[in-house]
Structure formats: C-alpha cells, structure tokens
Amino acid sequence: MPKLCILDARTLGDDIDLGKLEQFGELAVYATTARDEVVERIRDRDIVITNKVVLDSAVLQQAPQVKLICVTATGTNNIDLEYARARGITVSNVAGYSTRSVVQHTFAMLFYLLQSPGYYDHYVKSGQYANSKIFTHLDRSFWELYGKTWGIIGLGTIGREVANLAREFGCQVIYYSTSGANYNPDYARVELEELLQQADVVSIHAPLNERTQNLLHYQRLRLMKPHAILLNLGRGGIVNEADLARILDEGLLGGAGLDVLEREPVSPDNPLLKVRERDRLFITPHIAWASREARNTLLNEIANNIAAYLTGVPRNTVVTTA
C-alpha cells in the first residue's frame, strides 16, 4: 500500500475534506512543514503532496522512496523538475481550477476601490447618516464602468474571462500580450505604454517571468490616468511595490488592488504598508484563487492525478516517467 503525505494542508483550508485521499494508502497530514522538517516527513513516502514547500535535489536525494509529487497549484517552481526527471519522479500539477474564483475577486477588488462601500457603510452605522439633513451622501464620488476602457495584461484563460465580463459592463477591452505571441481577434491588442495611457482599469493576469519581472515601474505607472485603478491578480514582482507606493502617495493614481505581493507573507517593511492614503490601496493575502468550490476542485484533481498515476495513465503531468 502506498504511503502519502501532505506537507502544507493549511493552504487548502480546514473546510476541505482530505479524507478522499486515504483511499490511495496510508496518509500523513501536516498543516505546515518547515525546511528542516521536509526530509524526515517524506523519507519513507511514495507520494508527496505540496503547495509551496520546496522539494529540490538536496531534499529529494534523501528521500529515495518518492515516486510521485503532486503540486496543489498550477506553478511548479518549488520543484526541481530537472532532478525529478533524472530520478524518474513523476510530477503533476493542476491548472484551470480557480478561474471563476479569480475573476470574481478581480471585480470584488475593483468595486471596493471604485465605490468605497466600506466608507459608506461606516457613514451609516456611525450615526452620521441619521444626523444628515439630506437623503444621500456624496463625499466620495465614483464613476461608471460603462463606456470606459479596461486594459488587460495577460489575456490567458483568466484574462479572457475578465475581458468577457468587462465587456458586459459596457467597457472597451484592450490587452497587452506579455509573451508577444497571444493574438485574440475579439479584443484590440496594443503595446504596454498605449494600454496604460488609455485604460481606466488595468488588471494583471500574467505569470512572473523574465518578461514580466518589474514590468510596471515608476515611469510606466506614471503613464496611467490619475483616476485609473490598477489590479494585480497575476504575481507579485510584476509591479514594483516601492514605485507603486510612491505613485499613490503622489496622488498620481486613483487606486490599486493587489492580491499578490513579491514576498508572501508580506514583509513588515514593505513600503505599501506605509502608504499615506490607505483608502487608495486594497491588499488581500493571495486569496483570489481560494473559493470553496475552487479548493474542492483542486483536491478532486489531485485525487484524479494520483489515481491516474497508480493505474499507469498519468494526467496533468509536468514530468513523467512514462
């Protein structure tokens, strides 16, 4: 009977039933795993399930039993794929499980920044509205999406879904291909500088690589309209965080919403935490992917990957021995 372990179960949430993985063998579940705990926990395991715990050659060399690594994410940068290939270890990932969740969070972040619901809720509940002489309160104006331009950086699966919804709101959608290879006739493809100058909303749905690292720095952020809203749901490192903090403090941008940061958890000295006008900035702790439905889909796909491997038909495989 195979032996399995999950190294960082807390990243899947306490409301997800891991019991379905017990059908495959003896399962050890660890909420989190520190670097110095990895070898001991995987040494006698055949199947290792991980989200962000690093499994490099230094670790895997000490775990000769490992035959399958299941990454509970799309990205596999925490796995030494070259070593896995040389050792004959199959590595599988999961793609597309969180598209709807990320798209939903994109619009949630936009409306939080655009419509100031927290401010207006506080205005009512604090008693200020009860003492008002008029029926409304107009201290924080907002604008409609209809007729505005939405610029998308990275028109992949998530970017296309965001584009479709933005168009339903009456937006003109333009996009910038970070690879230079993406062409979609449904939307206008433009260069990055043009997108930043034209868009009222800019949302990022691109991976972090050599083409996107530090893509939006001070000079490019300055190209954006002063009322525009920037949303990063791609990866931290695409937006220069110090430059974004500076742009916000200088009042050159309407607002920014970030679900991803260059360092996660956030560094205590991150300049974004010291932005003066805090209402211009909305940061969530990398949760866009994490609806209950998305996490359940993720776990089901992991189970399917394990079942496929054990029956000799690997699926969603990054590195395979087949």
CA distance 204 to 196: 12
Q: What is the CA radius of gyration of the chain?
A: 22
Selected catalytic residue, list 220, 235, 280, 295: 235
From residue 182, alpha-carbon distances to 17, 157, 185, 190, 240 in Å are 38, 11, 10, 11, 24
| Annotation says 211 is catalytic | no
Closest listed residue to residue 39, CA positions, set 18, 57, 16, 15: 57
Selected catalytic residue, list 41, 220, 280, 286: 286
How buried is 241 (Cβ within 10 angstroms: 0-12 exposed, 13-18 middle, 19+ buried)? buried
CA distance 83 to 124: 59
Structure tokens belonging to residue 54: 């690093």
Long-range contacts of 118-126 (CB under 8 A, 24+ apart): 119/279
Q: Which amino acid is at 74?
A: T
| Annotation says 292 is catalytic | no
Selected catalytic residue, list 264, 276, 293, 315: 264
| Annotation says 205 is catalytic | no
CA distance 93 to 218: 35
| Active-site residue set | 235, 264, 286
